[in-house]
Amino acid sequence: MEQSSNFARRTISFSEAAVEGLFAGALAGLAMAAYLSATALLRGEGLVSLFNRFAPSQASEPLAGLLMHLAVSGIYGILFGILWALALHVRGLEPLFRHATLFGILYGLVLFLLAWNFLLPASNSQLLSIPFFDFGLAHVIYGAVLGFITQRYGRRELERQE
Q: CA 119, CA 99: separation in Å to the nearest integer?
A: 28
* Residue 56 buriedness (CB in 10 A; 0-12 / 13-18 / 19+): exposed
Is the CB of residue 106 less than 8 Å from the CB of residue 4?
Answer: no
In 3-state terms, what secondary structure has residue 104? helix
Instruction: Render pLDDT for 117-143 as a digit per residue (tens, 0 to 9).
Output: 999 999 999 999 999 999 999 999 999
**DSSP at 12:** -
Check residue 113 and give its pLDDT.
98
Per this entry, what is the length of the chain?
A: 162
32-67 pLDDT per residue, tens: 999 999 999 999 999 999 999 998 877 678 899 999
Tell me what pLDDT residue 131 has: 97
How large is the average pLDDT for residues 140-153? 92
What pLDDT score was predicted for residue 87? 79
Alpha-carbon span 85 to 43, nearest angstrom:
40
> Which sequence spans correspond to the domains of the chain?
13-161
The predicted structure's pLDDT at residue 4? 43
pLDDT number for residue 162: 53
Write down the mean pLDDT value for the chain. 86
Residues sharing a CB contact under 8 Å with residue 61, sequence separation 6 or more, in sequence order: 55
pTM for this prediction: 0.86
